Amino acid sequence: MYICKFFCTFAAKLYNMRKLGTIILLSCLSIAMWAQSKNAAYEAYIAEYRQVAIEQQRKHGIPASITMAQAILESAAGKSELATKANNHFGIKCTSDWPGKTYKYKDNRSNECFRKYADVADSYEDHSLFLKRKRYESLFALSLGDYKNWAYGLKACGYATDPKYPEKLIRLIELYELNKLTFDKTIVKSDSDLKKKLFIEEEGTEIAFAEQEKVEDYAMPPMEELRIFHNHRSGYRNGVRYVIAGPNETFASLALFLNMYERTLRKYNDALDTRELKEGDIVYIYPKKNKANRRYPTYYFKTGDDAWEIAQKYGIKLKSLYKLNGIPYGTPLTTHQRLDLR
């Protein structure tokens, strides 16, 4: 009887403990959910100004996610005094070279001078120009999607005094999925859209050597037709995406910038040897193809030509170029030699 009573008492206590544990667990979950709940005012602000942030990325190469997070934080989602009375959404103060209107506001001291704008878009534009000063130039070596290092970089470059500034930006970006703005389809179009715009495939015919100079070669598309990809001019050749090498850029530095292995980037560009980049070189970030675009069936080798540069120009693998022409790989080519590209 005593044993039965002991087990009944123990079971009752265990049940109550489990019940208490369940209550505590549910309370913790509720607190966590409350902490992560989204602010309706923030969401409304994002919806209103998302295109402005995206446009700034397109024009200046500053991640839209960072721009939006800074605007929300600095302007209290457009509700601060500076935002409502001066259209200043980034808390940018006056400088000696500021030619525009001003607004006096108490920040660290009374009657500090802040910039006043005609509209919010002007505030966003001025913020972008502000970040393009020499102090912040190191940030533009980061990829657009690397919002964490952009956030920490802003603090390191002296944008804010708040020691928690980077973490606040990152929390906003992740909670409101602001990185989706960085990769918005109006900036990063689909491959097929870009291919249609940059290089329309057409049925090609064989081109005689004497007429080759009359034909529009694979020249670099006009600047307005190139897109910005990881802060590099970018386009498509033969349906394969490329970026344009910048000054003093190497395969190693570009691979790091693109979050790729150097060996992979070299492999995609037939550069597994000691070849290095020159400013303006085409660098493919996906594997090239075995044949050229139908528009370019042949090429006649000219003085000063390089087999590697021809392969890069037409977006085909170097080994495929030799194989298409029945030439042992690495054999020097001769002037006026006809090369099949498909």
pLDDT in tens, 64-76: 999 999 999 999 9
The pLDDT-based confidence of 25 (bands split at 50, 70, 90) is very low
Q: What is the arithmetic mean of pLDDT over 276-303? A: 85
Rounded CA separation 243/95 (Å): 37
pLDDT the model gives residue 224: 34
CATH number of 41-182: 1.10.530.10
Domain locations in the chain? 41-182, 191-340
**Of residues 304 and 313, more confidently modeled:** 313
Q: What is the arithmetic mean of pLDDT over 184-192? A: 48
The pLDDT-based confidence of 219 (bands split at 50, 70, 90) is very low
Calculate the average pLDDT of the chain: 76
The pLDDT-based confidence of 254 (bands split at 50, 70, 90) is confident
The pLDDT-based confidence of 187 (bands split at 50, 70, 90) is low
pLDDT the model gives residue 43: 94
pLDDT the model gives residue 36: 57
The pLDDT-based confidence of 128 (bands split at 50, 70, 90) is very high
SS3 letters across the chain: CHHHHHHHHHHHHHHHHHHHHHHHHHHHHHHHHHHCCCCHHHHHHHHHHHHHHHHHHHHHCCCHHHHHHHHHHHHCCCCCHHHHHHCCCCCCECCCCCCCCEEEECCCCCCEEEECCCCHHHHHHHHHHHHCCHHHHHHHHCCCCCHHHHHHHHHHCCCCCCCCHHHHHHHHHHHCCCHHHHCCCCCCCCHHHHHHHHCCCCCCCCCCHHHHHHCCCCCCCCHHHCEEECCEEEEEECCEEEEECCCCCCHHHHHHHCCCCHHHHHHHCCCCCCCCCCCCCEEECCCCECCCCCCCCEEECCCCCCHHHHHHHHCECHHHHHHHCCCCCCCCCCCCCEEECC
- Evaluate if residue 198 carries a pLDDT over 80: no
The pTM assigned to this predicted structure is 0.50
